[in-house]
Amino acid sequence: MRIAPLFLVVLAFGVVGLAKKPKITVRFHVEASESDGQSFAMPAKFRHPPRDGFVKRIPTISERNVEAIFPYPAPDGSFGCAFKLDSFGRTELDLISRASRGASIVAFVGTKGGVHQVIDMVIDRVVSDGIITIASGLTPMEIEAFKKEYKVLGETGKKKK
């Protein structure tokens, strides 16, 4: 009788470990305060405007919330990408754009090679359409990885996810 609960816990961890891990991640973290503490905030370098600051450790939006993408070449020679979010992501984006106006949101992209900060953007308006855009800073390899994971808006064919 005592073994049954232990077996269920071990089984639960086993199932979690078998979950499909994405080949690329995209996570959006909202600006935080240093007073939030190391458990809840991590340091970040903001470029717009240039300054040192902090972002929340837990992303507001992640690759789990992405339904489709729209990649495009950026004027600086890199790539940009618009991300269409699912209903949860759309709601989170709407809430954060209302509650954190004037703060920044920072995009991090992760691959096998590591995670890097791509862009930070000041939240200057309410975004209720469920689309968040990384205007530039993505590499061709990152765009190809996104195309393998997600449906590309405007392309016909079967859904990738």
pLDDT for 54 equals: 94
Specify burial of residue 152 (Cβ count, 10 A radius: 0-12, 13-18, 19+): middle
CA torsion 90→91→95→98, rounded to 10°? 50
pLDDT of residue 157: 65
Q: Express each pLDDT in 97-154 by its tens digit.
A: 999 999 999 999 999 889 999 999 999 999 999 999 999 999 999 999 999 999 999 8
Q: 20-152 has which fold?
A: Gyrase A; domain 2 (3.30.1360)
Structure confidence by residue, pLDDT tens digits, 74-89 = 999 999 999 999 999 9
What does the pLDDT average to over 5-30?
67
Contact 48, 102 (CB under 8 A): no
Give residue limits of the domains in the chain: 20-152
More confident site: 36 or 101: 101
The answer to whether residue 7 scores a pLDDT higher than 90 is: no
Number of neighbours of residue 68 by Cβ within 10 angstroms: 19
Tell me the C-alpha distance between 101 and 17, whole Å: 38
